[in-house]
Chain A
Amino acid sequence: MRMASMHGPTLVAAVFSLAGLSAAAQTPQAATTYAITHAKIFTLAGSTIDDGTLVIKDGKIAAVGASVEVPAGAQVIDGKGLQVYPGLFDSVTQMGLSEIGAVSSTVDSSETGNFNPDVVAATAVSPSSEHIPVTRASGITEVLAVPASGGFDSSGSRAILGGQASAFSLAGWTMNDMQIKRSVAMVINFPIIQTRSFDVATLSRKERPYAEAKQEYEKNLNELTEWIERARHYAQAIGHGGPSDFERDVKLEALAPVVRGQLPVLVFADRARDIRNAVEFCDKQKLKMILAGGSEAYQVKELLRSKNVPVILRPVLTLPVDEDDPYDRLLNQPAELAQAGVKFAIGSFDNSFARRLGQNAANAAAHGLSQDDALKSVTLYPAQILGLADQIGTLETGKLANVIVTNGDPLELTTDVKYLFINGQLTSTDNRHKRLFEKYSNRPKP
């Protein structure tokens, strides 16, 4: 379906709404070249282009600039009055792994047992999840699916070695189309000294003595240390001979890139003490650490900066950890970390609330973070932190064309995503919620 650029805008709109008619429409067989013209382009790599053109070809950004030619045969989208951004990147989710939290048969986010380094999120991501179209309609074009990262899990378990997180784009027929990188980071739920817990089964608080909690912490930490050390020996053995020379172990094999420093560890920890323990551990074991959660990262900001540990923060719309913390403690944290030179991103840590990602970044901006940093904390920074910035995070030639065209600030509550490109394809913003809205808007009066 090719058309002359002069006729672009209206015809593209037609293609777009056609795509919207089909529930399954994810990658319509349309032209592979698009040009968004006369738009304000926020490349997030250098200065903003007030009146520019962005060309998408074969799934990639082919050109971007103020005086870029529209290629012959390209579908043209008139971007006058519109703004172009890289799609948002939600860097901690259970997308595709969990459909309805309370129904365990729809949840694949947490494997049983404490040490599962070999499990990989991408294996269990359901491309048909209703969360995917709902989420992308909010301008999020790619996510990191993180095993053992919370959400509601009926088994209640959160493995210490949780498995491998996978990055993927939010459109495609199969995971093969969608996947950006299968193994992005190894999840560690860092052992903590937990004296208090809430028992969902009995709806009651449980407490135990500090000594007992400490003992369990030490046991868990020792086990984790053993796993890492065994993996190091295993990696050395692989280096010295073929697999036929020794007994293979899939779990240790999965950890080999971790101990070699090739695969970062995504370490979940929130309290200052736990973060300190985690940083010390990773430093000693020479693991490439990314902190996730980080509710009290501000208390250890100097440590994080000096050890070069980036943070994926949980939503700033979260109550403070302690009763006597300032009421806006988590809202202020991004600005404080930016000031201290700590690299950070913001994640939703959820599926249903993934579409609040922009809202969270905006709230951080309302509490002292620069607008530029707020936007980058949900685009470029997570891409950099997770080692994906060569593919996503900015609008630069050669990068994956995960692009949104909006009628305003993509972090603001009332902004609409007018056009959505994923893997260079014009993608529908239709979703379960829109369909139900339309269906019941048209319900005849009883």
Chain B
Amino acid sequence: MNRPFRFVAVAALVLLQTSCVTLAAPPDSSPVIVIQNATILTVTKGTIERGSILIKDGKIAEVGPTVKAPKDATVIDAEGKFVTPGIIDCHSHIAIDGSVNEGSISVSSIANTAEVLNSDDIDIYRDLAGGVTTGNILHGSANSIGGQTVVIKLRWGQPASKLPFEGALPGIKFALGENPKRSNFGVPGQPKRYPATRMGVEETIRAAFTEARDYKNAWDAYSKKVASGDKKALPPRRDLRLDPLVEVLEGKRYVHSHCYREDEILMLMRVAKEFGFKVRTFQHVLEGYKVADELAAAGVGASTFSDWWAYKVEAYDAIPYSAALMTRRGVLVSINSDDAEEATHLNQEAAKSMKFGGLTHDEALKLVTINPAIQLGIDKRVGSIEVGKDADLVIYNHDPLSAYAVVQKTLIDGRVLFDRDKDIAGRAALEKEKKDLLAREKAAAKKSDEKKGEHAAKPGEKKPDEKAKPPSGDQAAISTNGGAQ
């Protein structure tokens, strides 16, 4: 897949998706599991050779050379294998139903990815099979101020309502540069949209926050009146577009801003300072290495690509050394995917920062685990293998910072949601199911052909939609046809 215009490609992918039946929800009680004989890469507490992890109630209960496992615990023998915390993808567009861009207006803060989550998106399973357990599900980059965003866990098999990461602060997507100013495409029949320059992008954001500040003041004044016992006070008119921006001003919503060039990075930090909010992460931030000191001083995170470059002018100065250079200068850096396929090998993408810029093994692994967890404000729950944290874990057959590493199992909340052996073992049955369904469809089509003339098919009549799906770990035995949603 070529990747010149991420937001376009992703939109295409999402649009081409067809829906299918959800798996039944797993039973509520989570199993007691002990993973034994593994090389445990804890990320924050060093590496344990031939260690064990005890999992209870979805959490990591014990970690060490040995653990006290109850007799009835399910044992996973990880002899010769490597365990890491689940991969956290700080820039994802999976699990979104329909287009990722509300591309009509330059300030689309009214749109919210959390409201259009699609738990049937097969990319959830594919990324889970690549070790991803948490994703920052972002709106696209068509607008200076894009839509609201949500952090999810890749709980394959659960309904959409169970995907959001409990307690994770919501976000909002901003976008700077070529995409919001529509440098590389136009919409036929529509006039050129403001902003069309980086100058205009700044003013679009300033204008929106000026409005939001007035709106906030109006609400604050109203609240004050109510508090002082004024029963006649009229509340200001609600503005769903400005509400999320007020949350940004109040520090209740993170700003994740798509950007490329150094000038626009400094611009948004300047605007944020003017209005008294903080940018949580710069996304892509391919020229972040040029202003690493400024990013570090402002305490803004950088979530970047491993080695993408040259697909457009603003990506021409991108370098694969950027993650390492920014890390060395004190920036909190993560490596993200922006793409369902790229997400399946983020461990490999992190490894490249050892070659390009000389990060250590631990530093490289942090780029896709604890660092994105800190950036998303969920590091107390995930991002490392520590007692008390969520049992979101990946078991690899090889050192994960290698092109030869293959994910064997992925656990979320202490449940095995991806199991490579079971996936492979289940393929023959799925293939058969697919064949049977096709045969049934063909037979039905034949029958309807015979009936032609008697009942003309109504236009838009729905066909049975029962696509076979890969099994998900411990739910492999559960029928693919029973389902919520």
Which A positions have Cβ atoms within 8 angstroms of B? 99-103, 130-131, 134, 150-152, 196, 198, 200-205, 317-319, 323-324, 326-328, 349-353, 355-356, 358-359, 362-363, 365-367, 411-416, 432-434, 436-437, 440-441, 443, 445-446
CA distance A52 to B290 in the complex (A): 44
Is there an interface contact between A200 and B185, defined as CB atoms closer than 8 Å? yes
Instruction: Name the residue of chain A whose CB is nearest to the CB of B348.
Output: A413
Is there an interface contact between B325 and A327, defined as CB atoms closer than 8 Å? no
Contact of A326 among B185, B311, B313, B423 (CB under 8 A): B423
Is there an interface contact between A204 and B15, defined as CB atoms closer than 8 Å? yes
29 A-B contacts (beta carbon < 8 Å) = A100-B310, A102-B178, A102-B312, A102-B313, A103-B312, A198-B12, A200-B8, A201-B185, A203-B8, A203-B99, A319-B340, A323-B20, A323-B467, A324-B467, A324-B469, A326-B427, A351-B310, A352-B308, A352-B309, A359-B348, A362-B402, A362-B404, A366-B398, A411-B403, A413-B403, A414-B351, A414-B354, A437-B319, A440-B290
Contact of B403 among A205, A363, A432 (CB under 8 A): A363
Is there an interface contact between B319 and A436, defined as CB atoms closer than 8 Å? yes
Is there an interface contact between B125 and A152, defined as CB atoms closer than 8 Å? no
Check if B84 is an interface residue, CB within 8 A of chain A.
Answer: no
Is there an interface contact between A102 and B311, defined as CB atoms closer than 8 Å? yes
Instruction: Name the residue of chain A whose CB is nearest to the CB of B347.
Output: A413
Check if B2 is an interface residue, CB within 8 A of chain A.
Answer: yes
Contacts known (A352-B310, A446-B294); A366 close to B2, Cβ less than 8 A? no
Is there an interface contact between A102 and B427, defined as CB atoms closer than 8 Å? no
Which residues of B have CB within 8 Å of A323? Answer: 17-18, 20, 122, 467
Which residues of B have CB within 8 Å of A413? Answer: 348, 351-352, 354-355, 401-403
**Across chains A and B, which 10 residue pairs bring their CB atoms closest together, nearest first?**
A362-B403, A152-B4, A102-B312, A437-B321, A198-B12, A433-B319, A101-B4, A366-B404, A413-B351, A205-B15
Within 8 A of A (CB), among B337-386: 340-341, 344-345, 348, 351-352, 354-357
Contacts known (A366-B405, A414-B355); A327 close to B125, Cβ less than 8 A? yes
* Nearest Cβ on chain B to A164's Cβ, whole angstroms: 22
CA distance A131 to B469 in the complex (A): 40
Is there an interface contact between A317 and B341, defined as CB atoms closer than 8 Å? yes
* Nearest Cβ on chain A to B422's Cβ, whole angstroms: 12
Within 8 A of A (CB), among B173-207: 178, 183-188
Is there an interface contact between B12 and A103, defined as CB atoms closer than 8 Å? no
Check if B434 is an interface residue, CB within 8 A of chain A.
Answer: yes
Instruction: Name the residue of chain B whose CB is nearest to the CB of A349.
Output: B2
CA distance A66 to B469 in the complex (A): 54
Check if B293 is an interface residue, CB within 8 A of chain A.
Answer: yes
Which residues of A have CB within 8 Å of B15? Answer: 198, 204-205
* Nearest Cβ on chain A to B302's Cβ, whole angstroms: 14
Check if B227 is an interface residue, CB within 8 A of chain A.
Answer: no
Which residues of B have CB within 8 Å of A201? Answer: 185-188
Is there an interface contact between A196 and B16, defined as CB atoms closer than 8 Å? yes
Which residues of B have CB within 8 Å of A367? Answer: 406
Which residues of A have CB within 8 Å of B356? Answer: 433, 437
CA distance A362 to B352 in the complex (A): 14
Check if B213 is an interface residue, CB within 8 A of chain A.
Answer: no
Is there an interface contact between B187 and A101, defined as CB atoms closer than 8 Å? no
* Nearest Cβ on chain A to B419's Cβ, whole angstroms: 12
Which residues of A have CB within 8 Å of B477? Answer: none
Which residues of A have CB within 8 Å of B352? Answer: 413-414
Is there an interface contact between B319 and A318, defined as CB atoms closer than 8 Å? no
Q: Give the interface residue-count category, chain B.
A: 35 or more
Is there an interface contact between A326 and B8, defined as CB atoms closer than 8 Å? no
Instruction: Name the residue of chain B whose CB is nearest to the CB of A94.
Output: B2
Is there an interface contact between B17 and A363, defined as CB atoms closer than 8 Å? no
Which residues of A have CB within 8 Å of B99? Answer: 203
Is there an interface contact between B470 and A326, defined as CB atoms closer than 8 Å? yes
CA distance A317 to B321 in the complex (A): 22
* Nearest Cβ on chain B to A240's Cβ, whole angstroms: 46
CA distance A412 to B348 in the complex (A): 10
CA distance A203 to B313 in the complex (A): 21
B315, B354, B404, B423 — most chain A CB neighbours (10 Å): B404
* Nearest Cβ on chain A to B191's Cβ, whole angstroms: 15
Is there an interface contact between A319 and B290, defined as CB atoms closer than 8 Å? no
Is there an interface contact between A441 and B2, defined as CB atoms closer than 8 Å? no
* Nearest Cβ on chain B to A421's Cβ, whole angstroms: 21
Within 8 A of A (CB), among B311-347: 311-313, 315-317, 319-321, 325, 340-341, 344-345
Is there an interface contact between B403 and A102, defined as CB atoms closer than 8 Å? no
Is there an interface contact between B313 and A100, defined as CB atoms closer than 8 Å? yes
Which residues of B have CB within 8 Å of A317? Answer: 341, 344-345
A-facing mask of B3-18, CB < 8 A → 1, else 0?
Answer: 1110010011001111
Is there an interface contact between A414 and B401, defined as CB atoms closer than 8 Å? yes
Which residues of B have CB within 8 Å of A441? Answer: 325
CA distance A362 to B8 in the complex (A): 29
Which residues of A have CB within 8 Å of B254? Answer: none
Instruction: Name the residue of chain A whose CB is nearest to the CB of B17.
Output: A323
A-facing mask of B289-307, CB < 8 A → 1, else 0?
Answer: 1101110000000000001
A-facing mask of B211-237, CB < 8 A → 1, else 0?
Answer: 000000000000000000000000000
Is there an interface contact between B2 and A324, defined as CB atoms closer than 8 Å? no
* Nearest Cβ on chain B to A130's Cβ, whole angstroms: 7
Check if B240 is an interface residue, CB within 8 A of chain A.
Answer: no
CA distance A358 to B403 in the complex (A): 9
Contacts A324-B122, A366-B398, A411-B403 supplied; 13 other A-B pairs, CB < 8 Å = A100-B315, A100-B316, A102-B5, A134-B309, A196-B16, A203-B185, A319-B341, A352-B308, A412-B404, A414-B402, A433-B320, A437-B325, A440-B325
Contact of B312 among A100, A319, A436 (CB under 8 A): A100
Is there an interface contact between A437 and B357, defined as CB atoms closer than 8 Å? yes
* Nearest Cβ on chain A to B334's Cβ, whole angstroms: 18
Contact of B12 among A205, A351, A432 (CB under 8 A): A205
Check if B101 is an interface residue, CB within 8 A of chain A.
Answer: yes
* Nearest Cβ on chain B to A185's Cβ, whole angstroms: 21
Is there an interface contact between B188 and A202, defined as CB atoms closer than 8 Å? yes
Which residues of B have CB within 8 Å of A355? Answer: 307
Is there an interface contact between A328 and B325, defined as CB atoms closer than 8 Å? no
CA distance A436 to B315 in the complex (A): 13
Instruction: Name the residue of chain B whose CB is nearest to the CB of A99.
Output: B310
CA distance A366 to B468 in the complex (A): 26
CA distance A150 to B3 in the complex (A): 11
Which residues of A have CB within 8 Å of B101? Answer: 203
Which residues of A have CB within 8 Å of B1? Answer: 318-319
Instruction: Name the residue of chain B whose CB is nearest to the CB of A441.
Output: B325
Contact of B310 among A130, A203, A359, A446 (CB under 8 A): A130
Is there an interface contact between A412 and B126, defined as CB atoms closer than 8 Å? no
Is there an interface contact between A352 and B320, defined as CB atoms closer than 8 Å? no
A317, A324, A351 — most chain B CB neighbours (10 Å): A324
Check if B430 is an interface residue, CB within 8 A of chain A.
Answer: yes
CA distance A366 to B125 in the complex (A): 20
Contacts known (A101-B312, A102-B311); A150 close to B2, Cβ less than 8 A? yes
Check if B103 is an interface residue, CB within 8 A of chain A.
Answer: yes
